[in-house]
Structure 1
């Protein structure tokens, strides 16, 4: 499988720290966590689109439609399990309809995108054994105990990950 280029919405420092706290809690419980990914470009984010290549038209639309809208507030609440066998543990991200429309305007510019639909989320762990899911949910429940509603994330940045160059470019 080719390495995938991506466009990502990135939270402000407070939002990144809130997500990293969840990564740390999973890691401290001996579970897989995005904290295990030691790359310098690994930051909490919401992927807009992933593909073997990103056409210039997609970058132009992203800059015009999403970049001009930032910052936006998102609600992170609940839990998602994605995949088969070992799963990806993630938090679903709720966004205003206008943001979703703008993301879809970007996605249609990328015909070879990895996923046909869009499930906005923040990844907490990859390759989690199904047998470890109950323990991971307990860890997250402890973190959520004091909240009446989900975590608000302020998405302030739009970036492009270029795996071929090993670089992140802010848009």
Structure 2
């Protein structure tokens, strides 16, 4: 399986990393200490069995990261699902083999912590309460090969 991920511009990336560090400093789980080279703030658009032959991804796109919330077992910042972002997801979903999730199930987000204890969510929200929405843009795309654990750039344009 391969992902299609969008990367934030430098300022927005640093704001998310700061939130990772603040959670970690408060003794809460965060992605601040995750050692894998893929560990970078990103929006996963979808997963597919292959991304071979993928057309350039039309970037940049505006990015707004809003409220902190739990999504399954992850602590995340919601990403505003603009019409352009939804159109990009639909386009990729319709051109790649075995894509997931389908457009109606996609919840755009940037992860702050994985396997986050739900009981700690109020503490995390308190730590990040002074964090206004993050405004920036998605400026690059990459793919992560889940089996080989390797990254590759996806052309944009």
TM-score, normalized by length of structure 2? 0.87
Identify the match of residue 93 of structure 2 among 107, 125, 129: 107
Counterpart of 2:32 in structure 1 is: 35
1:1-171 aligned at under 5 Å gives the runs 4-51=1-48, 53-56=49-52, 59-60=54-55, 63=56, 67=57, 69-83=58-72, 87-110=73-96, 112-116=98-102, 117-142=105-130, 144=131, 147=132, 150-171=133-154
Unaligned runs of 5+ in 1: none
SS in 2 for 1:158: strand
Distance change (3 Å), C-alpha of 1:41 and 1:55: closer
Would you say the 8 A contact 1:8–1:47 is kept in 2? yes
SS of the residue corresponding to residue 79 of structure 2 reads strand
Give secondary structure in 2 for the equivalent of 1:73: strand
Instruction: Give the superposition deviation at 1:95.
Output: 4.1
Paired residues of 1:73 and 1:95 also in contact (CA < 8 A): no
Contact 2:2–2:51 (CA under 8 A) maintained in structure 1: no
What is the CA–CA distance in structure 1 between the aligned matches of 2:39 and 2:93, rounded to whole Å? 22
More helix by percentage: 1
Give the 3-state SS of the residue equivalent to 1:79 in structure 2. Answer: strand
**Count of residue pairs the alignment pairs up:** 152
- Give the aligned CA root-mean-square deviation in angstroms: 1.8
